[in-house]
A and B are shown apart, each in its own frame.
Chain A
Amino acid sequence: MSIDTGDRTEAPARAESRQWTARMRHAAESAFPPDQLLPDRQPAYMASWIYVFGVLTVVSLAWVIITGCVLAIMGPSWWHVSSTGHFVNSLHLWSVEAFFFFMVIHLWGKFFMAAWRGNRRLTWASGVICFLVSVGAAFTGYLSQQNFDSQWISTQAKDGINSTGAGAVFNVLNFGQMLMWHIVLLPIVVALIAGMHVLLVRRHGIVPPFAEGDDDAEAAVATGAVPAEEPA
């Protein structure tokens, strides 16, 4: 039972606290303060070239999407009959190769940093899932080329896919279906997971180095995982 206190100024505040919109805004502001979302400083240990590969992966993905959009605007057959189209296809291919090259180095770098430490396990998991979905996105791209490569890859890959039962709904020999997966469904998933991954990196910050003495686990006792980016 609610009690009317007579104070009408509290009513809007109470109403706002029940709003989905207000709650969402408060949660976002709490999770991502502006100086954490777009930081202008980083811990001093971030002095290694390995950190460059994260941003290189993101911008390569941007180029994959941009060049893919140009190919989508002109249609799937364009690049076979136009020298300009072939050049855009080349840009798309090399941006994909760059994307995977940078992403794999990024992944190995994060592995050797044990970058899941300090409540960053979801950051790690989202990165791995992004890699796995990207493999699927690239694979459907190879199936959508409409050339010998597509014919060969689809007829070879069908056996693996079919053996899992997935071939019942995911027919690699169906060009139309694979094209839709490549230009709609999988890019959406990759973009969402990559976005989530970047936000998690911003939320938790970059993982600190192992402390001297971490090798002696028996000696160290703490209260648990702590975000790296403490105010200086």
Chain B
Amino acid sequence: MSPDTKKPRRFTPDRDVKPWKGAYVPYDILKEAFVAFLAVAVLIILLAVVFSSPDEPAVTLKTWSVVNPVDFAQTAITELDGTSGTASYGPPYNSTPDASQHMGFFEPDQWFGVHQPIDTAQDFVIGPLRTLPNQPVTQAALNLYQSASSGQQTAWTTAYEKAVANATDVNGRLKVPAGRYGPVGAMIGSLTGMAQTGGLDGTLLSEGQFYNTNYTKPLLFLADGSYLANLGAAQHLSGDQWGMMNETGNYPGQAWLWLYTMWYQVSPMNQSTNADLEVWVIMMVLSVGLIFLPFIPILRSIPRWTRVYKLIWRRHYRELAGT
């Protein structure tokens, strides 16, 4: 069809506009930008002077093990026996069966597999303990544990897990009731001592080179315990406290994530074991929908139906009514 014979497209008010035939007014775009630049400068300087910014110090494995050695030991045994959150996480840390979040057959983390492999027993407990010099008792305990059958290891770790549930903190020292947990008591006790000196922080961060910037291992170990979670809850940062959009103290956080965190508060996501994936899928669909909103019937008509534009352009419509 030639351009001459092409039928005019039907006017759709939510897509098309009629050319502006009205008046134009002087407008100094650079002056406006300069004034706005200065105004925002004044605003952020005032806010910075009056409110400053939060900087809650980072917690360490050292502070955790000193403040709450019982929680540390209770977490460490789950790293050793493979029942911690990280040990049973699935991709990208390990290939624990049925650990991936999914929506029916949609299981995207399985597509990429294990990219940051973490063996919690080896990486969080045995490996760090092997770096301790001049600790023959610890090394002998490690040798005994590693040479035992897996059944024996499980018997020891199970016994220790029961015993450490009743452990006490005696002036910062871990006191675990006696039990038939073989070398595991010496191993976890030694790991707790190592953490209390600060040695475990450095060992977990080490990637075999001088400079390191990857905190994956120490952060995962911290997140497996209750210590970090309790600190977060005290700062109203937990998921059920709309924590994603909160900040330490009384500062505004990422308020723009209100919709993202809202989905975690409502059913069925607030009860779902696949909540993270479900919320991400919802947000991706909504984000794509917002991008393509001008093409979506009904939604693109909302501005015309709500008539909020009458308020925005009230002077224009007032002048139209007056002519």
Contacts and interface: CB of A to CB of B under 8 A. Distances in A.
Contact of B304 (A93, A125, A162, A210): A210
A142 B256 CA distance: 13
30 contacts: A42-B27, A43-B22, A43-B24, A45-B315, A47-B316, A48-B314, A63-B40, A91-B44, A111-B303, A112-B303, A138-B254, A139-B254, A148-B235, A149-B56, A149-B248, A151-B59, A162-B91, A163-B108, A163-B276, A164-B280, A165-B110, A165-B112, A167-B115, A169-B115, A171-B216, A174-B216, A211-B13, A212-B320, A222-B16, A225-B16
Contacts of B309: 112-114, 209-210
Given A60-B40, A114-B303, A156 B48 contact: no
B291 A98 contact: no
Contacts of A138: 254, 256
B45 A39 contact: no
Contacts of A220: 11, 13
B285 interface: no
B170 interface: no
Interface stretch (B31-39, B75-83, B152-160, B185-193): B31-39
Given A116-B293, A210-B13, A168 B255 contact: no
B24 A41 contact: yes
Interface in B286-323: 287, 290-295, 300, 302-304, 306, 308-309, 312-317, 319-320
Contact of A121 (B33, B45, B295): B295
A223 B9 contact: yes
B148 to A, nearest CB: 32
Contacts of A38: 29-30
A117 B280 contact: no
Which 4 A/B pairs are nearest by Cβ-Cβ distance?
A: A176-B213, A118-B17, A116-B294, A168-B112
Given A59-B33, A112-B308, A150-B58, A160 B279 contact: yes
Interface string B1-45: 000000011111111111111111111111011001101110111
B105 interface: no
Contact of B276 (A121, A148, A159): A159
Contact of A80 (B55, B232, B247, B280): B55
Interface of B: 8-30, 32-33, 36-37, 39-41, 43-45, 47-48, 51-59, 89, 91-92, 100-101, 108-113, 115-116, 213-216, 219-220, 222-223, 228, 231-232, 235, 237, 239, 243-244, 247-248, 251-252, 254-257, 274, 276-277, 279-280, 287, 290-295, 300, 302-304, 306, 308-309, 312-317, 319-320
Given A40-B26, A175-B214, 16 more contacts: A39-B29, A42-B25, A43-B25, A44-B25, A47-B316, A80-B55, A162-B109, A164-B108, A165-B109, A168-B116, A177-B214, A215-B13, A220-B11, A222-B11, A226-B17, A232-B24
A148 B248 contact: yes
A214 B232 contact: no
B15 A168 contact: no
A39 B32 CA distance: 12
Contacts of A124: 293-294
Contacts of B43: 94, 98
Contacts of A93: 48, 53, 251
A48 B214 CA distance: 49
B277 A163 contact: yes
Contact of B252 (A97, A109, A147, A173): A97
B219 A43 contact: no
A214 B295 contact: no
Interface string A123-143: 011001100100100110010
Nearest to A118: B17
A208 B18 contact: yes
A69 interface: no
